[in-house]
Amino acid sequence: MRADVYALDAAVRLEGPLLFLKRTIRCGLNEAVEIEDDAGRIRLGRIAALDHDTVTVEVLESTAGLALSDTRVRFLGAPLEFAVGPDMLGRVFDGVGRVIDGGPPVSAARTLRIDGQAINPAARDVPREFIETGVSTIDLMNSLVRGQKLPIFSGSGLPHDQLAIQIAQHARLLKAEQGEFAIVFVAIGVPYDTAERFRLAMESSGALEHTVLFLNLASDSSTQRLLSPRYALTAAEYLAFVEGKHVLVLMTDMTNYCEALREVSASHGEVPSRKGFPGYMYSDLATLYERAGRIKDVSGSVTQVPILTMPSDDITHPIPDLTGYITEGQIVLDRELDRVDVYPPVKVLPSLSRLMKDSTGEGYTHVDHPALANQLYAAYARAVHMRVLASVVGREGLSEIDRLFLDFGARFEQELVQQPAARTLDESMEVGWRLLRMLPNAELHRLSDRQIADHIDTTGDA
Amino acid sequence: MNRILTVGLALVVCASLTTPVMAQDAPELEDPNTGRGMMERTLLVANTSNMPVAAREASIYTAVTVGEYFRDQGMRVALMADSTSRWAEALREVSGRLGELPGEGGYPAYLSSRQADFYERAAHVRTLGGELASLSIIGAVSPPSADFSEPVTNHTKRYVRCFWALDAVRAQARFYPAIHPLQSYSEDIEVLSQFWSQHGNPQWTEQRRRFLGLLEEQARLERMARIVGKDALPPRQQQVLLCAELINEAFLRQSAFSPLDRFCSPERQIAMMQTLVQFIDLCEAALAQQVDMAEVAALPLLRRLRRMGEDIGDQRLDDFDALRREMETAFLQLARAGAADAG
C-alpha cells in the first residue's frame, strides 16, 4: 500500500495553467501531482518550479472551474510515467497517454518515465539501413535511414500531412530480413480534421493495426501539448528497444509545440530570447529529437520524421533553425512547386540528408546511387542558376548547352520531383538516368566513364 | 587555396557538441597516413544536445585541457570543436537562467572574452623536455541561417588567423568541400609558402595568386553575364570563365566518396596545380593565336581534367605528366587547325 501524500487548502494563486501552492510538503522538480477539485474531478499536473515558499504546478488540463479552497493536490513522488505494453498497437490515446478510442485500457507490461533517458553516445549504433519511402526526392536524393531524424520543413497550406501519410504507408526496408515496422503518430495541437484524416488513411490501408496514435488537438491545453510528444516517444522507445520493432515516429506539427513552449514560458515569467521563445528551446527540442536512434546489440530502432510549418515560410525562424541544428538534415517543401501542382513539392536544393553517405551505395542500395544523386544535384543546381540568368537576358542570351540545362531543370521537376504514385528506388534511379541522358556526356563530370557506359550510353537516345 | 591537409598529427582531440551520429562517424575513419583506424589516435569528448546544458558549456574546456596535456608530452595536437555555436548557445542559456543582462543577440556580454580565452589556448611550444609541440584549434561555427554577421562568427573572426567559409550555394550543388575560395582567408600564406617550397613547389605563392585572381574575375564576370548574356562576352573573358570553372571543378572539388580522392597528398596537390597552370598558359597562348574558345571548351580532354582528382591517385603521379603532354598536343592541333583555316 502506498501512502497518500496530499496538500489541502495549500493553493494560493491560480493563473492560466499554473497553480501556486505553499510549500508544505517535500517534493522534487518535475514530479507528477494529481489535483482533485471539490467535485472530485482529477486533473494531472507536474511540478514546474520550486522555491523557498512556493511550489508551481503546471496543470496539464484546462484549469477552468478550479478553485483555491477545497482543492486537494496529491503528490505522487515520482516523475510522470506512462504504462506501456504491446497492446498499444492499433489504439488511440490523448496527449497524456489516456485511451480515447472507447476500448479497454491497455494492459501494462512496463511503466516508463516519459522524459526518457539520454542514450550514452558510445552505446549508439550508426544508422545504416536505407528506408524506402516511395518518394523519389527522398529515396534517391536525400535518403532516409533507420534511426535517423529527418524533419519536413513545410508551410501552412502545403501538403505535408499527405506526404507524411504516404511515407507512413510505403516505408519499407530494402533487405529481406525486414523486421517488424510500427508507426507512432503524434498530432501536436493540430485541428481535428488533420488527426481524423490520418486515422482514416491508416485504417483504410490496413496499417492501423501497427500504428499507435496520440492526439493532442488544437483545443487541448498547451501544457499538455508539451507532454504529448514525450508520451509518444516513450511508447516508441518501448516498441523499439523492448519489443524490437522498427518504429517510425511522425510528429506534426512541431511549430505548435514550440508555440506552446513559448506560452508556458511566458506564464512562468521567464526572460524571453529570440522572437519571444525561451532561451532553452534548443535544449528542450533536443530532448525530443535525440530520442531517435539505434542502440548497439538491440534490434529495434526509432526513426523520427517531425513536421513543422515555417511561420510565413521563413527558414531562418528560430523553430526551423534550431530544429535544423539538431536533426540530421531536412526535407524542404516549396510553395512555388505546389502552385504549379507538382506533388510532392520538395525543394530539392536546400533539402539534405546527412546520413545518406553512410547508407547508400555498394552493400546498401545500388553501387551507383551516390554518384547519380550527386550528378543530379550538380546538374539541377546549374539549371536553377541558368534560370536566374535567363530571367534577365532571356533564353536567347544563353549558350546552347546552358539552354539544355534549362530544359533539364524543367523536366527534372516535372518527371522526377512530380510523381503520381509511389516509386521503388530502382524506378526512381531509372528516371534519374533517363533525365541525365538529355545532357551531353562531356558535362557529366560527377560520373565515371564506367557509369556513363553502363547507364547513359545504353540506349543511345538523348 | 589549400586542399584540406592533415600533416603529422600525433592526436586528434574532439569536443563534439553535436548530435550523436556525427560523433559516431569518427571511430570508423581510416587514417590516410598510416591506414590504421583514426580512433587509435583520437579522443572524443561527447556531449549530445540532450545532455545537461552546463556540461555542454564545460565540454569545450575539458577537451582543450586534455589537448594541452598531450601537447605537454611533446605531441602535435589538433582539436576540433563542433560546434562553438552550440557551445555559445549553452552559454546563453545558462546566462539567461542566472538572470544576467543579455548583450548582443541575447548572448552574455562576456561571450567574446570567453571565446578569446578558448582560442588563445592554441599554441606552438617547446616543452620542458625540449621537444617542439603544438595545440591547434579548429572551431566549427554554425551561425543561424548562415548569417556570418551574428556575434559568435564575428567574435571568432577576431581571434583566429584562418577562416574557411562554407558556402550554401556550393553545398546545395553537392560541391565538396564547399569552402568558398573568395570569402575564406589565411593570414599564414608566407609561412605556408616555405612549406610548399620544401615539398617541391617554389612557385606556389604565384600560382595561388593566379588561381584566386581568376576566381575573383569569374565572380565579377558572372555578375556582368547576368546583364549581357554569356555569349556576348569577348573571347578573353570566356577564357577566364572556362579556366575558373576548371579550377573549381578539377582542383577545389574533391570527392569524398572516391577512395582515391578523399585525401590529397601535398605531392598530388602540386601535380594538379601545375597541370592546371599549364592549361591556363596554353589557353592564353591559344587565345593569342585567335583560337575559338568554344573549340577549347569542346576538347574531350577537359572531362579528364575535371575528373583528374577522382581518376588519378597518389600512386600514379606520372599520369599527370602524361596528361600534360596530351594537353600540349591537343592545343598544338587546335592552333594548326586554326592556322590552316586562316591560310
Q: How many CB atoms lie within 10 A of CB B312?
A: 22
Establish whether the linkage from the previous residue to A107 is cis, with ω within 30° of 0: no
**Counting beta carbons within 10 angstroms of the beta carbon of residue B162, is it exposed (0 to 12), middle (13 to 18) or buried (19 or more)?**
middle
Picking from A280, A287, A370, the nearest residue to B93 by CB comes out as A280
Q: Is the sign of the CA dihedral A21, A27, A28, A32 positive or negative?
A: negative
**Counting beta carbons within 10 angstroms of the beta carbon of residue A270, is it exposed (0 to 12), middle (13 to 18) or buried (19 or more)?**
middle
Q: Look at residue A117 in the predicted model and tell me its pLDDT.
A: 79
Mapped onto helix, strand or coil, the DSSP state of residue A41 is: coil
Give residues 40 to 79 of A whose Cβ lies within 8 Å of B: none
Picking from B92, B93, B142, the nearest residue to A325 by CB comes out as B142
A/B interface, count of CB pairs below 8 Å: 145
CB contact A452 to B (< 8 Å): no
Taking an 8 Å cut-off on Cβ atoms, the answer to whether B21 and A126 are in contact is: yes
User: What is the ipTM, given to two decimal places?
Assistant: 0.83
B142 conformational bin, left if phi > 0, alpha if psi -120 to 50, beta if neither: beta
Grid cell of B19 as nine digits: 548530435
Instruction: Confirm if A200 and A206 have CB atoms less than 8 A apart.
Output: no
Picking from A271, A361, A377, the nearest residue to B96 by CB comes out as A271
Count H helices and E strands in chain B, helices first: 14, 7
CB contact A30 to B (< 8 Å): no
Picking from A371, A392, A399, the nearest residue to B231 by CB comes out as A399
Taking an 8 Å cut-off on Cβ atoms, the answer to whether A378 and B228 are in contact is: no
Instruction: Confirm if B165 and B148 have CB atoms less than 8 A apart.
Output: yes
β-strand B123-126 against B132-140: which pairing, if any?
antiparallel
Taking an 8 Å cut-off on Cβ atoms, the answer to whether B311 and A448 are in contact is: yes
- pLDDT tens track, chain A, 462 positions: 567 888 888 899 988 888 999 998 889 998 999 999 888 899 999 998 899 999 999 998 888 888 888 889 999 988 999 999 999 999 999 999 999 989 999 999 999 999 887 788 888 888 888 999 999 999 999 999 999 999 999 999 999 989 988 888 888 877 656 668 899 999 999 998 888 888 888 888 888 888 999 999 999 888 899 999 999 999 999 999 999 999 999 999 899 999 999 998 888 888 888 888 988 898 899 999 999 999 998 888 999 999 999 999 999 899 999 898 889 999 999 999 999 999 999 999 999 998 888 888 888 899 999 999 999 999 999 999 989 888 888 888 788 888 999 999 999 999 999 998 899 999 999 999 999 999 998 889 889 989 999 998 876 444
Taking an 8 Å cut-off on Cβ atoms, the answer to whether A392 and B226 are in contact is: yes
Angle in degrees, CA B153, B158, B161, rounded to 5: 100
Distance CA A14, CA A66 (A): 8
Average confidence (pLDDT) per 10 residues, chain B, 343 residues: 30 39 54 75 82 88 91 90 89 87 88 95 93 92 84 93 91 90 92 92 94 94 79 87 93 85 89 95 92 89 90 90 93 86 66
Q: Look at residue A187 in the predicted model and tell me its pLDDT.
A: 92
Q: Which amino acid is at A432?
A: G
Q: How many CB atoms lie within 10 A of CB A62?
A: 14
Taking an 8 Å cut-off on Cβ atoms, the answer to whether B50 and A290 are in contact is: yes
Report the DSSP beta bridge partners of residue B45.
B15
**Among A367, A374, A385, A452, the residue to mutate for chain B (most B Cβ within 10 A):** A374
Backbone angles phi, psi at B17, to 5 degrees: -100, 20
Count H helices and E strands in chain A, helices first: 13, 22
Half-sphere CA count of A72, side-chain side, radius 13 A: 12
**Among B17, B18, B22, B49, the residue to mutate for chain A (most A Cβ within 10 A):** B49
Chain B residue nearest residue A128, CA to CA: B21
Backbone angles phi, psi at B234, to 5 degrees: -70, 160
Cα first-last separation, chain B: 43
Chain B residues closer than 8 Å to A374 by CB: 174, 257
Q: Per residue in A140-175, pLDDT tens?
A: 999 999 999 999 999 999 999 899 888 888 888 776
Q: Look at residue B28 in the predicted model and tell me its pLDDT.
A: 65
Distance CA A309, CA A257 (A): 11
CB contact A387 to B (< 8 Å): no
Report the DSSP beta bridge partners of residue A213.
A92, A185
Instruction: Confirm if A243 and A298 have CB atoms less than 8 A apart.
Output: no
Distance from CA of B228 to the nearest CA of A (A): 6
Picking from A274, A402, A441, the nearest residue to B230 by CB comes out as A402
Q: Look at residue A461 in the predicted model and tell me its pLDDT.
A: 46
Q: Which residue has the cell 495541437?
A: A189
Taking an 8 Å cut-off on Cβ atoms, the answer to whether A273 and B19 are in contact is: no
Q: Look at residue B256 in the predicted model and tell me its pLDDT.
A: 79
Taking an 8 Å cut-off on Cβ atoms, the answer to whether B257 and A374 are in contact is: yes
Distance from CA of B21 to the nearest CA of A (A): 6
Segments making up each domain of chain A, as ranges = 11-79, 84-358, 369-456
Report the DSSP beta bridge partners of residue A306.
A251
Query: What letter does residue A177 receive in the DSSP assignment?
Result: -
Distance from CA of B128 to the nearest CA of A (A): 35
For the domain spanning A11-79, the CATH number is: 2.40.10.170
| List of residues 6+ apart from B92 with CB closer than 8 A | A273, A279, B102, B106, B107, B108, B111
Q: How many CB atoms lie within 10 A of CB A400?
A: 9
Q: Per residue in A324-348, pLDDT tens?
A: 888 999 999 999 999 999 999 999 9
Give residues 322 to 341 of A whose Cβ lies within 8 Å of B: 325-328
Q: Look at residue B20 in the predicted model and tell me its pLDDT.
A: 40
β-strand A11-15 against A54-59: which pairing, if any?
unpaired
Query: What letter does residue A137 receive in the DSSP assignment?
Result: I
Distance from CA of A101 to the nearest CA of B (A): 33
DSSP B54-69: HHHHHHHHHHHHHHHH
Picking from A121, A287, A398, the nearest residue to B229 by CB comes out as A398
Picking from A318, A392, A441, the nearest residue to B227 by CB comes out as A392
Chain A residues closer than 8 Å to B144 by CB: 316, 318, 321
Mapped onto helix, strand or coil, the DSSP state of residue B38 is: helix
Q: Return the C-alpha torsion angle A441, A446, A451, A456, nearest 10.
A: -30
Angle A369-393/A400-411 helices, nearest 10 degrees?
A: 110
CB contact A126 to B (< 8 Å): yes
Give residues 128 to 187 of A whose Cβ lies within 8 Å of B: 148
Instruction: Confirm if A324 and B18 have CB atoms less than 8 A apart.
Output: no
Q: Which amino acid is at A94?
A: D
Grid cell of B13 as nine digits: 582531440
Angle B84-98/B111-119 helices, nearest 10 degrees?
A: 140
Q: Look at residue B260 in the predicted model and tell me its pLDDT.
A: 85
Grid cell of B36 as nine digits: 590504421
Chain A residue nearest residue B83, CA to CA: A325
In A115-199, the DSSP E strands lie at 124-125, 130-132, 144-145, 152-154, 172-173, 181-190
**Among A149, A290, A404, the residue to mutate for chain B (most B Cβ within 10 A):** A290
Distance CA A446, CA A427 (A): 21
Picking from A122, A283, A381, the nearest residue to B93 by CB comes out as A283
**Counting beta carbons within 10 angstroms of the beta carbon of residue B288, is it exposed (0 to 12), middle (13 to 18) or buried (19 or more)?**
exposed
Q: Which amino acid is at B203?
A: Q
- Considering the segment(s) A84-358 as one domain, its CATH architecture is 3-Layer(aba) Sandwich (3.40)
Cα first-last separation, chain A: 79
CB contact A293 to B (< 8 Å): yes
Chain A residues closer than 8 Å to B311 by CB: 448
Taking an 8 Å cut-off on Cβ atoms, the answer to whether A126 and B172 are in contact is: no
Number of residues written out for chain B: 343
Q: Look at residue A7 in the predicted model and tell me its pLDDT.
A: 87
